[in-house]
Amino acid sequence: MPAYQILPTRLQAASNKKVFISYRAQQPEITLAREFYQALTAAGHEAFMAGESIRLGEQWPNRIDAELKRCDYLLLLLSEKSAASEMVTEEVRRAKELRDLRQDSKPAILPVRVNFPLNSLLNYNLRGYLDRIQQREWR
């Protein structure tokens, strides 16, 4: 299934949304993240991938926070390894914190399990952050 078909219909039909793509820079996530990036930008959305968008010498944590504050969606590519990543957990924590503070409930978190079945356990923090959020699987 093409990566873009996993996204909610409302995002596919919406215009000019900002999407933060959270991923671990290893296969297959990086290839899938790039596919999403290309499909989203081709559809007129603005996509952000930290590894591709942050320039040398730029303050990594400040840029991540700024992008999370301005995004409409956090597209979370969640594999077994990324589920153990402190950086991924922190991005989800911050997105959840922003959702709880804002009136518009943004960013919406869109978890996609990458070769990581829905019945696989998440760490305590991710389980709490993603509780009651529908997730999709990609293989």
96 touches 68 (CB < 8 A):
no
Rg value, the chain, Cα: 14
pLDDT tens sequence across 84-116: 999 899 999 999 999 999 888 899 999 999 999
Cβ count near 57 (within 10 Å): 6
Structure confidence at residue 11 (pLDDT) = 55
**For residue 61, is the peptide bond before it cis, meaning its omega torsion is within 30 degrees of 0?**
no
pTM of the model: 0.85
Domain count, the chain: 1
pLDDT at residue 4, as a whole number:
53
Give me the residue label for tokens 């000019």. Answer: 16
CA-wise closest residue to 47 among 58, 57, 36? 36
pLDDT in tens, 7-63: 555 555 557 899 999 998 889 999 999 999 999 999 999 999 987 777 777 787 889
CA dist., res. 116 & res. 49, Å (int): 21
Q: Could you count the other beta carbons within 10 Å of the beta carbon of residue 74?
A: 25
- Greater pLDDT, 116 or 1: 116
Whole-number Cα distances in Å, 4 to 37, 92, 138: 9, 21, 11
Residue-number span of the structural domain to which 94 is assigned: 3-138
- Chain segment 62-76, per-residue pLDDT in tens: 899 999 999 999 999
Q: What is the reported pLDDT for 17?
A: 94
Rounded Cα distance, 36 and 125, in Å: 26
Q: Which CATH number belongs to the domain containing residue 86 in this structure?
A: 3.40.50.450
Residue 104 is predicted with a pLDDT of 86
- C-alpha span between 48 and 40 (Å, rounded): 10
